[in-house]
Amino acid sequence: ESEEAITEVWAAMNNFYLIINAQIVFFMQAGFAMLEVGIISPKNAKSILFKNLLDMCTVALTWWMWGFGLAGNGASGQIVAEGSSFGDFGMGEGVTRGGSGRGGGLDWENSAAFLHSLVFATTTTTIMSGGVAERMKVEVYIFLSVILSSFVYSTVVSWGWGDDGFLKEMGFVDFAGSCVVHLVGGCAALVGAAMVGPRRNRFTDTGDVVSFKSTSLVLSSLGAMMLAFSWISFNGSSVLSTGGGNLELAAHAVTNTLLSLGGAGVTSVVIASLLQKGTYDLPNTINSILGGLVAVTAPCAFIDNWNAVLLGIISSMVSMGSSNFVMKTLRIDDPLDAFSVHGACGILGTIWTGLFAREDLLSMVGHTKGAGLFYTGNPELLLAQLAGCGVVIGFTTITIATSSVFFHLVMVAYKAARGSDEIVVDDIGDDDGAMYAEDESATTE
Amino acid sequence: ESEEAITEVWAAMNNFYLIINAQIVFFMQAGFAMLEVGIISPKNAKSILFKNLLDMCTVALTWWMWGFGLAGNGASGQIVAEGSSFGDFGMGEGVTRGGSGRGGGLDWENSAAFLHSLVFATTTTTIMSGGVAERMKVEVYIFLSVILSSFVYSTVVSWGWGDDGFLKEMGFVDFAGSCVVHLVGGCAALVGAAMVGPRRNRFTDTGDVVSFKSTSLVLSSLGAMMLAFSWISFNGSSVLSTGGGNLELAAHAVTNTLLSLGGAGVTSVVIASLLQKGTYDLPNTINSILGGLVAVTAPCAFIDNWNAVLLGIISSMVSMGSSNFVMKTLRIDDPLDAFSVHGACGILGTIWTGLFAREDLLSMVGHTKGAGLFYTGNPELLLAQLAGCGVVIGFTTITIATSSVFFHLVMVAYKAARGSDEIVVDDIGDDDGAMYAEDESATTE
Amino acid sequence: ESEEAITEVWAAMNNFYLIINAQIVFFMQAGFAMLEVGIISPKNAKSILFKNLLDMCTVALTWWMWGFGLAGNGASGQIVAEGSSFGDFGMGEGVTRGGSGRGGGLDWENSAAFLHSLVFATTTTTIMSGGVAERMKVEVYIFLSVILSSFVYSTVVSWGWGDDGFLKEMGFVDFAGSCVVHLVGGCAALVGAAMVGPRRNRFTDTGDVVSFKSTSLVLSSLGAMMLAFSWISFNGSSVLSTGGGNLELAAHAVTNTLLSLGGAGVTSVVIASLLQKGTYDLPNTINSILGGLVAVTAPCAFIDNWNAVLLGIISSMVSMGSSNFVMKTLRIDDPLDAFSVHGACGILGTIWTGLFAREDLLSMVGHTKGAGLFYTGNPELLLAQLAGCGVVIGFTTITIATSSVFFHLVMVAYKAARGSDEIVVDDIGDDDGAMYAEDESATTE
C-alpha cells in the first residue's frame, strides 16, 4: 500500500514538472516575437507579431489533430495507444482512468505529455518565422508552419526520439533538440529565406550588403533574455520525469546551458573587439548567446562543465562565421540569422555530442550505444550524430521546398482562375506599417 | 509512520504548487499593463501604468485585511478558522503549527491558500481598468478597485465557490472563474465605462465611431502572450491540490485552454478575411485569443478536447459581436473591449459548462449535481449556470454603480465644502502625457 | 525500503524547487534591464543592455570557476567537498553518484545548489549597473562585476550564510539577502557612482539638480513588475529545501513580501500627494515598491503580516529620503537610485529583523541566537544585524573602490605605454546612441 502511495506521488510530481516546464517553454513565443520584432523594420512589425500569434494557434490545433499522433512515443514520453494514427483528431476511446482500451492518440490523462510535446512543436515553427521575416504573406507562412510542425517535425521526432525510430536505433542521441528541434527550424528558415529572396535593396548591384535599421534593440534584448529564461525549461525538462536521479541530471543540464551561454557571450565580445577595435555589437552578442544555447541543447546533460564552456566559445565562432557565409557567399537574406543560430549551431551541438558525451551520463537516459569519440575512441556515436544531421537537413529541405512550390503552384492556378496574376511566395509583405502611434493607420479597430 | 511521511510530502507539494502558480498568475498584472498601454493613447500611458501598479498594492492590503476573510472557504481551499470575520486584519490567534485554536482569518501556515486567492482578486480588479482607461482619476479607480476586489469579488467567491455558498448549493460550477472572476471584472468595466462616458471625440455628431491611435501594438501583443502564459496557471492550478489525480485533470484543463485559444485565434482571422477581404486586424485577433481563454476558463477541466476547439470558435464570434454591439448600439466606449472579452465570453463559458460538462470529469472535483444538458438531457446544471450569471451581473452592476455614485457625491460635497466645483467621476484623465523621451515632461524625478 | 523511497522523493522535490526558482530569479536580469533602460537616456540604452547581457555571461563563468568555491557552504545549502578551493574551476573529482571522494567545488549532482547560488550572485552584480549607468565603459563594468560577484559577494556569503561564517556565528540572520545581496549591490553602486562622477549637466553651477528625460516609463514599469514577479522566488525559495514545513514558511515569506510591496506603494502615493498636491510620480512609486521588496527580503520569513505592512510603509520613506540625501546633500548622481533602493532599504530590512523577528519563526531555519528586540528585550540579535551592515558596507566600499583605482592605474599605465592619455574610469559612455529606428546607426549588423 505504501508503495502504491509513493507511485502516486511520483505521478503527480511528473505531471507538475511537465506542465510547468511546458508553460515556460510556451513563453518562448513571446521571446521570439520580441527578438524578431526588435530586429526587423518597424513597417513589418505588425506582420511578424501576427504570424507569431497565429502559428501558436494553428500549431495547437494541428498538433492535437495529427502531429502528436504522428510523433508517436517520441513525443515527451507519451504512452502511445494501440492504433493511434493520423487523423484521429486527438480523441482517445477510453476515458476511464487507467483503462487499457485506448484506441486513439490523446487520452485526457495523457495531457501533460501532450502539452510538453506541443510547445516543442510550436518553438520549431517559430524559428522559421525569423528566416522569412518581412517577405512572406501570412497565408503562406501559416501553411508552411502547419507542414513544418505537424508533418516534418513530428516525423523527425518519431525517427530521433521514438523507441522504434530508425535514428534512435542507430544510436543517435539528442537530449533536448539541437537537431530535432533547432536544425529542423533553422533549415526551414534557410529554405524559406532562399525562396522568398532578399529584402528589397538588401544587396547592392556590386554585391555589397546594405545594413537595415532595426525597430528597437531594447525589444530584441528583452526577447533574448526571455528566451534564455525559457531555455532553462527547454533543456532541463527534457529529462521528462522526476524520479531516478533525473532532476540531478536536469540541474546539470541547466548548469551547462548557462555555461555555454556565458562562453558564447564573452567570446562574441572578444571577437568583436579584436576585429573591430573596440566597438560593441549588440545584435551579434545576442545571436552568439542564442547560438550558445542552441549548441548546448543536444549535449547539455552529457558533457562536463568545462566542456560546455568550450562549446559556447566555439558556437560563437560558428554562428558568426555562418552568418557571414550565408549573407556574403550564399547571398541569402536571413534577417534574424535564424539558420546560423539554430541550424549551424544545431549541427555543432549534435556533432559535439558525438565527440564529448560521457558514457555514465548517457546511461542515465538509457542510452547504451556508444559515447563521445574523445573518451571512447569509438566513432559509433559520432557517425549516428552525423547521420542524424544529414537526414534532418535533407528531409526538412525537401519537404519545405516541395510544400512551398506546391502552395505556389496552387495559388498561381487559383489566381489564374480568378483572373489575377499576382504571385504569392515572393511577395514583399502586405503590411501597411501600422504599428506605432506616429502612423495614421495604427488604430484600435 | 510511513503514512505520515507521505502526508507531509503531499502537503509540501501542494504548497509548492499553489505558490508557484500564484506567482505566475501575479505576472498577469504585467500582462494586462502591456496589453492596455499598447492599445490606448500614449498620453494616458502613465496613468494606466500607475493604476495597474497601485491596484496591485491596494488589493494586497485590503484582501489581507478583510477580503480573504469575507471570501471564506471559497478562497483557494483555505481552511477557515472559527470566528473568521471582516476586520480581523488577517491575523490568526494561534501560531503554533497544527494548532486548532485559530481565532482569525489568516494563519501563517495557511499562506499558500491566501496567496493563490489574492492573485485571483488582483486579476479581477485589473480587468476593470481596461474599461475605464483614459478617463478615470486615480483616486476613483483605487476606490472602486478596493470595492470590487475586497467586497464584490470576495462575496461572489463565497457564493460560487464556498462550501455553503448558495450558488454552489444550487449546483453552480465554475472551474477557474469565467463567471466568478471574469464576468465580475467585465461587468465592472462596462458599468465604469458607461459612467465615465466616452473619450472625447470618440463618437461623431452623426453617431459614427472614430478610430483612435494606439501607442504600440508590439506592447499589446507582448501583453497578450504574457497573459496566455499566465493563464495556464490560472486554469491549471484551479484544481487547488496535487493529489488524487488532480494534476492529470490540470493537464487536461491546460490542454483545453490552449485548444480554445487556438480555435478562437484562427476563427478571428477567418472572419476578418471574410468580412474585410484580406486585411488582418491584430487587435481583433488579440481580443479573440483572450476571449477564447476567458470562455474556456469555466469548463476547461470538464469538457472534451474537440469541444474546447468549438468553444474557442464560438467565443471569437461572441467577442467580436459583443464589441460591435457595445460600441455601436449601446454606444459605450470600452477601449480595451473589457466587457466583450471578459464579460460576454465569461457568460458564454459559464453557460457552455451547463451544456457540455462531462459527468465523470465533474465528479473529479466533487461535483455531483447534474452535468451538461447535451449529455444528460437534464437542464439542472444549465439553470444553475444561468442563475450564476444573473446573480453576478446584477450584484456587480448594482454595487459598482452605487459605489461610484456614492464616491461621486462624497467628492462633490467635499469639493463644495472646499469651494471647488470640480466633478470627479466624469473627468478626462489627469495625465500630462509624460511617457516618452520626446515629451519634455518625462523626467526621472 | 519505504523510508528510502521517501528520501528519494524529497531529493527530487528539492531539486525541482531549487531549479525552477533559480530560473525565475534568473529572469531578474530581464527585469533590471527593462527598469534601467526605461529610466536612462535613450542614447545610453544600448550600453546598459550590453552590460546586462554581458554580466550574466561573465558571472556565470567566474561563479563557476571560483565564486561558488569561495562562497563555501554559505551558497544555497551546497554540500562542500573537502579541499574545495579557489581555482578548482568548478571541477569535482568524484562523479559517481553519492560518492564521498569529492575533491573539488562543483559535482554535477550538486548542480541545483550551484544554480540557485549563481542567480543570486548575478542579481547582486546587476544592481550595481544602475548606479553607474550612462557613464562607465563596458570594460570597467565587466571588471568590477567580476570582482563584485565572485570575490566580494562570495566572501560576504561565506561570512553571513556559511556555517562557520563569523557573522553567522555572531547570530546575524538575513533570510534572503537584504544585507548579503542588496546592500552589497547598493554599496557598490554608490561607490561606483561617486567614482565616475555625475552625468554631464546633472548639477547646475548653483548646485541645483537638473531632471533628465527618460527613455520610456512603460519599460520601467514593465521591469518593476517583472522584478516583483521574480522576487517571489527570490524570497520564497530562500528556505532552500521543501521538507519540514519549509514551504509553509516560504508561503508566509511571500505573503509578507507582497504586503510590504503593498504598504510601500500606497505610502509613496500618499506622500507624493501630500508633498506635491495631487500629481503622481511614477518613477517614485516604482522605486518605493522595489524598496519595499528589498527591505522585507531579510525579515520576510520571521515577522508578522501587520509588521510587513509597517515595514513597507517605512521603507517608502527611507528610499525617498535617501534618494534626496544622496542627490542633494552628497551630490552623487545615482540614476536608478540603486543605493537608496537596495542599500538604504537593505540596511532598514537588516535592522528591522533585529527588532521584530519572531523567535518561533527564526527557529524554523535553525536560528537560536536571539530574536527581535521588541519581543525579547534582548539586543543580541540587533547588535549582530548592525555588525552585519557595518561589515558589508566597509568591505564592499573598500574592495570596490580599491579595485576601481587599481583598474584605473593599470589602464593609465597601459595607455601611457601605448602613448594614449585617455583616462578610463571617469569617461562618459562610449555609446553612439544606436537604439532606435530613428537613429541612422541602429543597424542590424
Q: Average the pLDDT over B396-422 and give the result.
A: 78
Q: Which of A13, A255, A256 to mutate to test the interface with C (most CBs of C within 10 A)?
A: A255
Chain C interface includes B15 (CB < 8 A): yes
Q: Is A49's CB within 8 Å of B243's CB?
A: no
Helix (H, G, I), strand (E, B) or coil at C436: strand
Note the pLDDT tens digit of each residue in A173-220. 999 999 999 999 999 999 999 998 888 888 888 778 888 877 889 999
**In the structure grid, which three cell numbers stand for residue A264, read together?**
558564447
Is the pLDDT at C347 greater than 70? The verdict is yes
**In the structure grid, which three cell numbers stand for residue C153, read together?**
559577494
Nearest residue in B to C239, CA atom: B16
Q: What is the dihedral of CA C299, C305, C308, C313, to 10 degrees?
A: -170
Q: Is A19's CB within 8 Å of B282's CB?
A: no
Chain A residues touching C22 at Cβ < 8 A = 254
Grid cell 529572396 — which residue?
Answer: A197
Q: Is C217's CB within 8 Å of B46's CB?
A: yes
Between residues A445 and A56, the one the model is more confident about? A56
Note the pLDDT tens digit of each residue in C51-83. 999 999 999 999 999 898 888 877 765 554 444
DSSP per-residue codes, C142-185: HHHHHHIIIIIIHHHHHHHTSTT-HHHHHT---SS-IIIIIIHH
pLDDT for A277: 58
Q: Average the pLDDT over A241-267 and give the result.
A: 95
Chain B residues touching C308 at Cβ < 8 A = none
Grid cell 483572450 — which residue?
Answer: B290
Using CB atoms, which residue from C20, C118, C437 is nearest to A216?
Answer: C437
Q: Which of C217, C307, C439 to mutate to test the interface with B (most CBs of B within 10 A)?
A: C217
Using CB atoms, which residue from C242, C262, C335 is nearest to B61?
Answer: C262
Helix (H, G, I), strand (E, B) or coil at C105: coil
pLDDT for B76: 63
Contact call for residues C299 and C322 (beta carbons, < 8 A): no
Q: Chain A: list its partners (3+ Cβ pairs within 8 Å).
A: B, C
Helix (H, G, I), strand (E, B) or coil at C209: strand
Distance from CA of A227 to the nearest CA of C (A): 10
Q: Chain C: list its partners (3+ Cβ pairs within 8 Å).
A: A, B
Euclidean distance between CA atoms B63 and B211, whole angstroms: 38
Chain C residues touching A211 at Cβ < 8 A = 443-445
Note the pLDDT tens digit of each residue in B169-185. 999 999 999 999 999 99
Count the residues in chain C: 445
Q: Is A437's CB within 8 Å of B41's CB?
A: yes
pLDDT for A409: 80
Q: Which of A42-46, A183-187, A356-360 has the lowest mean pLDDT?
A: A42-46
**Closest to C109 in 3D by CA, of A305, A236, A367, A245:** A245
Q: Is B33's CB within 8 Å of C280's CB?
A: no
pLDDT confidence band for A431 (50 / 70 / 90):
very low
**In the structure grid, which three cell numbers stand for residue C12, read together?**
527530487
Euclidean distance between CA atoms A335 and A329, whole angstroms: 15
Grid cell 530613428 — which residue?
Answer: C438
pLDDT for B316: 97
Euclidean distance between CA atoms B151 and B170, whole angstroms: 22
Euclidean distance between CA atoms A302 and B189, whole angstroms: 53
Chain C residues touching A242 at Cβ < 8 A = 12, 16
Q: Average the pLDDT over A83-104 and give the result.
A: 37
3-state secondary structure chain B: CHHHHHHHHHHHHHHHHHHHHHHHHHCHHHHHHHHHHHHCCHHHHHHHHHHHHHHHHHHHHHHHHHHHHHHHHHCCCCCCCCCCCCCCCCCCCCCCCCCCCCCCCCCHHHHHHHHHHHHHHHHHHHHHHHHCCCCCCHHHHHHHHHHHHHHHHHHHHHHHCCCCCHHHHHCCCCCCCHHHHHHHHHHHHHHHHHHHCCCCCCECCCCCECCCECCEHHHHHHHHHHHHHHHHHHHHHHHCCCCCCHHHHHHHHHHHHHHHHHHHHHHHHHHHHHHHCCCCCHHHHHHHHHHHHHHHHCCCCCCCHHHHHHHHHHHHHHHHHHHHHHHHHCCCCCCCCHHHHHHHHHHHHHHHHHHHCCHHHHHHCCCCCCCCHHHHCCCHHHHHHHHHHHHHHHHHHHHHHHHHHHHHHHHHHHHHHCCCCCCCCCCCCCCCCCCECCCCCCECC
pLDDT confidence band for B103 (50 / 70 / 90):
very low
Exposed/middle/buried for residue C83 (C-beta within 10 Å: 0-12, 13-18, 19+): exposed
Q: Which domains does chain B have, with CATH numbers?
A: 2-79+109-417 (1.10.3430.10)
Chain C residues touching B25 at Cβ < 8 A = none
Q: Which of A4-13, B78-87, B184-193, C415-424 has the lowest mean pLDDT?
A: B78-87
Is the pLDDT at A269 greater than 80? The verdict is yes
Q: What ipTM does the predicted assembly reach? A: 0.92
Is the pLDDT at B79 greater than 70? The verdict is no
Note the pLDDT tens digit of each residue in B289-331. 999 999 999 999 999 999 999 999 999 999 999 999 999 999 9
Q: Average the pLDDT over B373-380 and give the result.
A: 94
Which residues in chain B (34-63) have CB-CB distances under 8 A to chain A? 39, 41-42
**Closest to A320 in 3D by CA, of A275, A386, A260:** A275
pLDDT for B31: 97
Chain B residues touching C306 at Cβ < 8 A = 89-91
pLDDT for A440: 32
Q: Which of A245-249, B163-167, B299-303, B407-411 has the lowest mean pLDDT?
A: B407-411
pLDDT for C439: 34
